[in-house]
Structure 1
Amino acid sequence: MTDSNLQQGPIRNVHAELGATFAPFGGWEMPVQYAGTVAEHTSVRTAAGLFDVSHLGKATVRGPGAARLVNTVLTNDLGRIRPGKAQYTLCCAPDGGVLDDLIVYYVSDDELFLVPNAANTAGVVGELRKAITEGADGITVTDQHRDYAVFAVQGPRSAEVLAALGLPTEMEFMAFADADWEGRPVRVCRSGYTGEQGYELLPRWDDAEPLFRALLAEVRARDGEPAGLGARDTLRTEMGYPLHGHELSPDITPVQARCGWAVGWKKPEFVGKAALEQEKAAGARRILLGLKALDRGVLRPGQTVLSGDEAVGETTSGTFSPTLKAGIALALLDRTAGLEPGAEVAVDVRGRRLRAEVVKPPFVTPRTS
């Protein structure tokens, strides 16, 4: 039974056929797991996993100087990359809070393709359209949320999966290529959200099912499995990758979230620059670090972190790490507490103090490049 208030991706029927458990996420009905989160997580770390993340937004910015315009809005510097490359970046408010984090595909100086988070797509499109009305002519921003699907093939055998379908694999990290599969266009980017080598594929929405089935056959031929939202979360948490609404939000800045590397500090302008420069110079009042449980127990978001009897922060994400066989969390910790990696803290888990070690993410060594 489905919730009529939730949006559905292009291959909901395939997920049901595979026995998926569904749950709401960002206004969409998403497959959470198939065989089980731990098995799917392990499949990605050891072989290959296939995710359907078609809920992610898609938008195109076209027109003379489109890249130049977008560069005045988003934080990262598009001047660092070239056509055929993609870039992680942030859309900030004037006070430095993060409205969204997204990927920008640099097609040409006059065309950019954006992949924001599902629930934030309208907001990002709105910010870019606002910039156009303030002085850019001949540039259009088109919301293409339902024009393209998004699949992610992740894991050490991911290149074998794509190669078996004749899709490109030999590209730099965060580079993309426009390809053709059985007469259907598909954009392939070497990227992902798991820390493993992997690829994200963007077929047309109406072409999604045959490509997904073909990918799944090749993934399973290499001891892999389809993977749901549960495994996506455990994998990204092991890497310390932020999730908007948890480690990034209108109340959490890139400086606090240790995402300053995605800010073009030397750019003459972008929305939020003055506020972020001020925070960077003064030092953020809190900073994102990792916690690894020393006692048995699973950490969750929204739990108080204690140093002695003093509250020094709060967890933003928490889960059981199938790789480390321990509870892990990301947490915003007060800078005044002076906590460094190796320090021991406690986490209030429903009234029980669970001991944890402060660590600097990632918890697991990445193999993306």
Structure 2
Amino acid sequence: MFLKSLDLKNYRNYSSCSLEFSPGINVLLGRNAQGKTNLLEAIYVLATARSHRTANDRELIYFGEDQADIKGSVSRHTGTLPLELQLGKHGKKARVNHLEQAKLSQYIGQLNVILFAPEDLALVKGNPTGRRRFIDMEFGQIAPRYLHNLTQYRDVLKQRNRYLKLLSTHQTTDKVFLDVLSEQLAAFGGSIIAQRLEFLQELEKYAQELHLAITQGAEKLTLTYDSKLKDVLGHSEQELQQLMYQQLKGQLQKEIFQGTTLFGPHRDDIKFLINGKNVQTFGSQGQQRTTALSVKLAEIDVMKEQTGEYPLLLLDDVLSELDGQRQTHLLKTIQNKVQTFLTAPAMNDVAKNLIKAPRIFTIENGHASLHADKTDLKQETITFYPHKDSLKISR
């Protein structure tokens, strides 16, 4: 799978933009605040229908406009697939092959992406919220049922927490409705935990191999699921649903007292172990970064295994955060494997030596120059005219 072209209208600082990409490595060079990260974000939004930088869609719309449009042409093994996403004050509209989708869950998964930004290097040492978001976003792209269960779980959780608050403040004494909500929460929650366990097992298989290669066989990486639900391993999905329901009933008085749901997948976490020791607690910064790199790169093969096609890889200024050894391993892993979009202020020596035939866009003050590859003498120049809201391509 690769993204052939991208068309933006009124997105962030792009009033109008049309670009064609290489199926290999595409490099966006430029100083800060020139718009290179906005292009990566647009690709991410086209794939997932949400931004990784903001929850407010209004921020994605060009100043003074009411709507932003993102269009992309995706090449898959089944053929070329047009995708369209409109962001407006009344919500989102998504189209696949020019047909509007009734639900965003029917749209997500048509284009799969993996985003690797500097903050992802804090995946290991960061807070549990970030790790839960990581697994939800990545697994949600390739498993529509997981995304459905997660959406339903969050809706029921909100209802249950509101009702627990009413009970805790003695605004109601009826616990029958609460039991109904507990059954629903356990049904969706048990399914989520079962699917997360399956996903982590696949992720560990590839991350372990990558980690061994980076550390030259010195470190074995394992991933474990840290759940507030006791004894989750070795149970079927139905058994996990029942276990969660029983624990909800057992903790009922405590939850009523505190006015909130105290356990479930919304409070679970992932643990990373190197040679049996918790890298979050005992690992060096280098080990934590190597672990994050191994896990992010492992997603590429997990998505390929689950969907039959490689995803797009978005690298947002990551090379500057990695030392030479990790840069080398990253670039060797992706070369000739996945379509990659890489942003950087400039090409460093490692990238120059390892990236073969990239398509390079230099973005500065609304002007971008494009080379077909490193050896091609023909130069394409893309000039952006703000007053005309258009791009001109010349050779």
Return the TM-score normalized by structure 1. Answer: 0.23
Q: Which has the higher contact order (CA 8 A, sep 6+)?
A: 2
Return the TM-score normalized by structure 2. Answer: 0.22
**Higher helix proportion, which one?**
2
